[in-house]
């Protein structure tokens, strides 16, 4: 697909700041997650002496249990809690050393398989050089999301980072958006939000009057999302933004 503009009134004027989601917006989440979970499960099989199928089922059940217990909060995404609960489901009681080992294995493997989408870094650097503010709103705990941003070498590309741990709630709840807006100190009508999730990112930002851009998978059209723009390529978004079509942005 190519970039699709659904509401030109919202995105033909330059924003003062752009807020980004992280997972599945700046990079593809599924592949590193699959590799990381496989590495953690394999280590659990070795350390606990349990059948691979039992480990897989226990960890899947643990994830459901933790999410049901904690609701839409940062800690509901905690791999540490998933592994702790999974080991307990396997009848091993709480095993702190193994739990920490599995969590470190998961994230070490995850980061080793992460790769930014093409054009992300160039777009962010161009925004910075043009004086456009930047921020992140992302679910999960602060430590691992900070680690991801640093791993990608993007820690100097954002003015502010808001995690759901800091805000006290996951998207699409109001708190993360309100906190990011307060940090930026900018009228929401002058902010764009770029994310991949029609509900968490797009529906969450819309009530504030923020212009919304949905990153979708290539050759996939996200219908009925209410977003102002759909795109699947940051390089194309970059070209559009600096093409002279966005009022207030110098053509490059």
Question: Catalytic residue positions?
Answer: 21, 23
Specify if 251 maps to a domain.
Answer: no
Domain boundary, last residue among 87, 112, 137: 112
Measured in residues, the chain has a length of 252
Q: Are residues 126 and 10 in the same domain?
A: yes
Check residue 12 and give its pLDDT.
76
pLDDT, residue 2, reads 80
- Do 98 and 138 have their domain in common? no
The Cα 125–Cα 131 span in angstroms is: 10
CATH number of domain containing 122: 3.40.50.1000
Distance CA 205, CA 194 (A): 10
Identify whether 168 is part of a domain.
Answer: yes
Question: Do residues 89 and 189 both lie within one domain?
Answer: no
Q: In the chain, how many domains are there?
A: 2
Residue 202: how many other CB atoms lie within 10 Å: 25
Q: What are the angstrom distances between the C-alpha of 208 and each of 38, 42, 48, 187, 205? A: 40, 45, 49, 9, 6
Point out the residues of the chain with pLDDT beneath 70.
1, 11, 218-224, 251-252
User: Residues 72, 142: one domain?
Assistant: no
What is the per-residue pLDDT for 222?
56
Query: Does residue 132 share a domain with residue 237?
Result: yes
Answer with the one of 42, 77, 112 that is the final residue of a domain.
Answer: 112
| Residue 89, domain extent | 30-112
Query: What string of DSSP letters covers 8-63?
Result: HHHHSB--SEEEE--BTTTB--HHHHHHHHHHHHHHHHHHHT--HHHHHHHHHHHH
Order of all β-strands in the sheet with 133-138: 4-5, 229-231, 211-215, 191-195, 17-20, 133-138, 160-163
Q: Are 203 and 215 within one domain?
A: yes
Closest CA to 49 of 103, 92, 94: 92
Q: Please check whether residues 146 and 57 belong to one and the same domain.
A: no
Among 1, 46, 24, 41, smallest CA distance to 194 is for 24
Question: What is the predicted pLDDT for the residue at 213?
Answer: 96
Residues 198 and 87 in one domain: no
């Amino acid at each position: 697909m190519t970039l699709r503009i659904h509401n030109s009134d919202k995105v033909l004027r330059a924003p003062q700041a752009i807020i980004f989601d992280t997972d599945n917006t700046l990079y593809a989440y599924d592949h590193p997650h699959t590799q990381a979970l496989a590495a953690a499960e394999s280590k659990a099989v070795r350390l606990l002496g349990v059948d691979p199928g039992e480990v897989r089922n226990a960890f899947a059940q643990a994830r459901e249990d933790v999410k049901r217990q904690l609701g839409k909060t940062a800690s509901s995404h905690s791999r540490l809690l998933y592994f702790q609960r999974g080991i307990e489901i396997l009848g091993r009681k709480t095993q702190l050393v193994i739990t920490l080992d599995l969590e470190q294995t998961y994230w070490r493997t995850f980061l080793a398989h992460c790769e930014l989408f093409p054009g992300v870094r160039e777009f962010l650097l161009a925004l910075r050089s043009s004086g456009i503010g930047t921020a992140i709103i992302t679910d999960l705990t602060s430590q691992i999301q900070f680690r991801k941003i640093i791993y990608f070498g993007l820690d100097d590309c954002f003015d502010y980072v808001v995690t759901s741990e800091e805000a006290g709630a996951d998207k699409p709840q109001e708190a993360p958006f309100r906190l990011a807006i307060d940090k930026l100190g900018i009228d929401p009508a002058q902010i764009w939000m770029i994310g991949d999730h029609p509900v968490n990112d797009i529906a969450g930002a819309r009530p504030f009057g923020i212009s919304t851009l949905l990153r979708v998978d290539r050759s996939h059209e996200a219908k009925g999302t209410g977003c102002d723009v759909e795109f699947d390529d940051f390089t194309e978004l970059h070209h559009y933004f600096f093409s002279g079509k966005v009022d207030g942005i110098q053509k490059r």
